[in-house]
Structure 1
Amino acid sequence: MSLPAAIPAVHNPVSDQGDENGSEVAASNEVGRLRVLVCGSTVPSHLEDGSPRFVYDLAEALLKHADVSLLAPHLPGAERAGRLGNVPIERFRYFWPESWQRLTSSEGLGMRERFRASLLAKSQVPLFLWRESSAIRRIVKRDRIDVVNAHWLIPQGLAAARALKRLPSVQLVTHIHAGDVYLLRRLPFGRSIARSVVRRCTAVLASGSHVRDTLDDLLGFPSNALLQPMGVHTRQFARDMNAEGKHVPEAAQFPNGFLVTVGRLVEKKGTKYLIEAMPELLRSNPGLGLIVIGSGPEEASLREQISTLEIEHSVRLLGRLPHAEIVRYLHAARVAVVPSIIDSRGETEGMPTTVIEAMAAGTPVVGSRVDGIPDVIQHGKNGRLCEEKNPSDLAKQIRETLEETEDERQQKNKTLQIEKFDWAEVGRRYAEYLCTPQITKAEAKLQ
């Protein structure tokens, strides 16, 4: 499908109706361009606060093809309205006083972790959904939005489906990332909620094949969700690699180089299995180090594990770092490790962006055979895969990666085809999904 330079807007009767109070709605976009509202609960307060920023990066990538704005829940210290980088953003408050808002955090914790940790957070869910739904409807009518792009089935997908219930001309494209499906699978009415959101969707996207399969199982029939991982800024990685980014302070502490793993310190990241693999790796690679970037509820237990294994001299937990710093560590590392698992709740993640980021940096990758990781890593061709929760196999795959020659690594780099994960290309494909009405078989079956 060829994509026009400016995607034509879909006819939207809301444009001629004014807002709920009958006042005139002013058009603020370039005539003829698609108007897109991107909704997500994980949006950083600023671009270098260390929080996951893929929702913002997608919105920015779409700017070339459409008029885009962001909607996100309010964070402490963040402006209610303004710009995040190049993208206009509004943040809705969902509890008063603001200091009592518990479902969102500027500390890098996901909404599910906040939900589980606090009774107050659980009590705020209905108000959160109501406030988000109201904000979506208000912005759709005010800005004459053509497409709402919701990230996660719940809460964004559910809030958007409610907001657009009486606005049938406005398209809804929902992107499933993993945690939303696993949460709905446990809720008493999870299947009904999932079906109601999918019924309203023009198209559904999934970050990995396992996420899509889990959604299909939840619905009870094929969703026909399109696979679309998030992207990376490949040019940024290449530019940094040719500049000063190869050196990090810890490099001198590890004469045999270091491994790096990036992500929130939660069970499904599998960090404890990587730490458990370190003693075996150190026997064959003395002087090897491990750098862990990220924060989360498992930090204390991981530090205790490191102490018990007596490998404090070989492991550094750095906490959250700005994205530019993460790029430097990925460049300097000998191997990037993504030891994700299916956790005790039966949950895993969609497609860890660290896999693609490491590939873009030219750093060898070892990842687990779970969810979207095998969608990208082809064992022995562009990286290595290990069995989840298996420190011995993980150590084996890392050791064999460390033993690869430079020629072998260069040959693997030629097979990466990393360009298809560049945000420019992801934005182009995503714009096609938003531009082209795609009534799925799942929706037809529900009607």
Structure 2
Amino acid sequence: MTRVLHVLDHSLPLHSGYTFRTRAILKAQQAAGIEVRGVTGMRHAAEGPASEDIDGLAFRRTPGAASGPVGLREWREIGALARTVEQIAREWRPDVIHAHSPALCGMAAARAARALDLPLVYEIRAFWEDAAVGNGTSRDGSVKYRLTRELENRAIAASDAVVTICQGLRGDLMTRGVAAEKITVMPNGVDLTLFGAPPPRDEGLARDLDIGEGPVIGFIGSFYDYEGLDDLIDAMPALVRSHPEARLLLVGGGPMEAALKARSEASSAAHAIRFTGRVPHSEVERYYSLCQVMAYPRKRSRLTDLVTPLKPLEAMVQGRIVAASDVGGHRELVTDGLTGVLFPADDPVACAARLAALLDSRAYWDAMRQAGQAHVAAYHDWARNIHRYQDIYQVLVGAAHRGRTRAAA
């Protein structure tokens, strides 16, 4: 039985897209007969013991906190995580080390893999320098941006195989000179065992929110600038003129929350927009139940053109109609007119027109829902896609074994 040690930035019990993808990968690998463990770096912020089991998954934590100026602090983080990875690997003896972005994890895993002569897989979920620009914590071309990109390139060079979540990231890596045969695309996926039948409308919650009878366009997630929620708010006056009962439900929070609320209050469609704030993950399905359409109006940027999000796939599984901007990450997930609809990015007028046309075309909604669910089941089901990891591991473990045999001869 293959043993795989996953090196992670953070994990459960924290809730994020990162931790949910990690959980899905590790649970699917367990179900496929692979032994897995996880180790997190210093940025795992949840309190807890040094070793803990969560949802049947074993995690080890890296203790302490790094200090010092930018660059030195990250170097210390890498060193501490590398020591933890090496310690666990000597105890547990994995066959493969599988590191997940950011590059701090990749570099730490590379140190440990070299010391122990183990094969290394490095998985890139996004380029974190671009994510930092999208989140407003860095600037394109800044020292921090260039440093993060250089660390990423070094982690890639040190790995035996690279995994990305979409074709956009794969194409960018190839422009950097990474060989195509070194890269495997492992699409964002959904653990279908977590989803039952789409929930019925929660009438009590609808009354509490004074949401009316619909139609309801929803967004559930983090309020970052790149998500384009300002464009969605700006689209509402035109949409309400053609569909007076339409409502917009914004569930979540984040850096743009105050600005978005102010924008909504100044809108002529303020009466049609509802903010709920953040809600517990266990309550999310209740809010999905109120929405007929889930909207993802991401702005066009390097981040959104290269990276595929997870939320549209979850919405399809929930039997919701997906309306999304035509950035590259969405075009990999949504076939316009079949599994959802696309509208021009950064254009509230076009967004309103597309949503209005969608609300006028309800006769096609059942077919669109079925097509979306079938698409996820065929291409984004972790139980199916997990076999791509097994293929990578088998090749690397076989090559490592042959190398050791030759060295011992």
Q: TM-score, normalization: structure 1? A: 0.76
Determine the structure 1 residue equivalent to 2:8.
40
- Whether the aligned pair in 2 keeps the contact of 1:50 and 1:322 (CA below 8 Å) is no
Aligned length, in residue pairs? 379
Residues 344-377 of structure 1: per-residue CA shift (max 9 Å, x gap): xx43362211110011111110112223221120
Paired with 1:80 and 1:383, the residues of 2 have a C-alpha distance of 44
Paired with 2:74 and 2:227, the residues of 1 have a C-alpha distance of 26
Aligned amino acid, residue 55 of structure 2: G
Determine the structure 1 residue equivalent to 2:402.
none
Paired with 1:62 and 1:248, the residues of 2 have a C-alpha distance of 39
Match runs of 1:166-315 below 5 Å: 166-168=115-117, 170-180=118-128, 182=130, 186=141, 187-189=145-147, 192-219=150-177, 222=180, 225-239=183-197, 241=198, 246-247=202-203, 249-250=205-206, 252-315=210-273
Deviation at 1:42, TM superposition (A): 4.1
- Whether the aligned pair in 1 keeps the contact of 2:240 and 2:269 (CA below 8 Å) is no
Q: Secondary structure at the match of 2:88?
A: helix
Deviation at 1:328, TM superposition (A): 3.1
Determine the structure 1 residue equivalent to 2:39.
71
The answer to whether the aligner puts 1:136 opposite 2:85 as a matched pair is yes
Q: Secondary structure at the match of 1:372?
A: helix
Aligned amino acid, residue 240 of structure 2: L
Match runs of 1:9-24 below 5 Å: none
- Whether the aligned pair in 2 keeps the contact of 1:40 and 1:156 (CA below 8 Å) is yes
Q: Secondary structure at the match of 2:245?
A: coil
The answer to whether the aligner puts 1:409 opposite 2:365 as a matched pair is yes
Residues 386-432 of structure 1: per-residue CA shift (max 9 Å, x gap): 221111122222222222234x2222234332213223223333333
CA 1:34 to 1:222, structure 2 compared with 1: closer, same or farther past 3 Å?
A: closer
Q: Secondary structure at the match of 1:263?
A: strand
Determine the structure 2 residue equivalent to 1:437.
396
Determine the structure 2 residue equivalent to 1:164.
113
Determine the structure 2 residue equivalent to 1:54.
21
Paired with 2:17 and 2:182, the residues of 1 have a C-alpha distance of 34
CA 1:120 to 1:286, structure 2 compared with 1: closer, same or farther past 3 Å?
A: farther
Paired with 1:386 and 1:39, the residues of 2 have a C-alpha distance of 38
Aligned amino acid, residue 249 of structure 1: L
Determine the structure 2 residue equivalent to 1:81.
51
Candidates 313, 317, 335, aligned match of 1:360: 317
Paired with 2:187 and 2:397, the residues of 1 have a C-alpha distance of 19
Deviation at 1:248, TM superposition (A): 6.1
Residues 78-106 of structure 1: per-residue CA shift (max 9 Å, x gap): 3331112110111223417xxxx9xxxxx
Determine the structure 2 residue equivalent to 1:16.
none
Q: Secondary structure at the match of 1:175?
A: strand
Paired with 1:85 and 1:347, the residues of 2 have a C-alpha distance of 31
Paired with 1:435 and 1:404, the residues of 2 have a C-alpha distance of 49
Aligned amino acid, residue 260 of structure 1: G
- Whether the aligned pair in 2 keeps the contact of 1:265 and 1:271 (CA below 8 Å) is yes
- Whether the aligned pair in 2 keeps the contact of 1:40 and 1:152 (CA below 8 Å) is yes
Gaps of 5+ in 2: 133-139, 399-409
Percentage of identical aligned residues: 22
Deviation at 1:37, TM superposition (A): 1.5
The answer to whether the aligner puts 1:328 opposite 2:298 as a matched pair is no
Q: Secondary structure at the match of 1:95?
A: coil
- Whether the aligned pair in 2 keeps the contact of 1:333 and 1:363 (CA below 8 Å) is yes
- Whether the aligned pair in 2 keeps the contact of 1:336 and 1:365 (CA below 8 Å) is yes
Paired with 1:247 and 1:424, the residues of 2 have a C-alpha distance of 34
Aligned amino acid, residue 337 of structure 1: A
- Whether the aligned pair in 2 keeps the contact of 1:254 and 1:287 (CA below 8 Å) is yes
Paired with 1:180 and 1:76, the residues of 2 have a C-alpha distance of 21
Q: Secondary structure at the match of 1:332?
A: coil
CA 1:290 to 1:198, structure 2 compared with 1: closer, same or farther past 3 Å?
A: same
Determine the structure 2 residue equivalent to 1:4.
none
Instruction: Name whichever of 170-179 and 58-67 sits farther off.
Output: 170-179
- Which protein is richer in helix relative to its size? 2
CA 1:143 to 1:360, structure 2 compared with 1: closer, same or farther past 3 Å?
A: same
Deviation at 1:142, TM superposition (A): 1.3
CA 1:302 to 1:138, structure 2 compared with 1: closer, same or farther past 3 Å?
A: same
Deviation at 1:206, TM superposition (A): 1.4
Paired with 2:181 and 2:389, the residues of 1 have a C-alpha distance of 18
Paired with 1:139 and 1:44, the residues of 2 have a C-alpha distance of 19
Gaps of 5+ in 1: 1-32, 102-118, 440-447
- Whether the aligned pair in 2 keeps the contact of 1:207 and 1:372 (CA below 8 Å) is no
Deviation at 1:34, TM superposition (A): 0.9
Q: TM-score, normalization: structure 2? A: 0.82
- Whether the aligned pair in 2 keeps the contact of 1:254 and 1:314 (CA below 8 Å) is no
CA 1:51 to 1:180, structure 2 compared with 1: closer, same or farther past 3 Å?
A: closer
CA 1:438 to 1:207, structure 2 compared with 1: closer, same or farther past 3 Å?
A: farther
Residues 39-81 of structure 1: per-residue CA shift (max 9 Å, x gap): 222423256x898522122112211121111222332433331
Determine the structure 2 residue equivalent to 1:146.
95
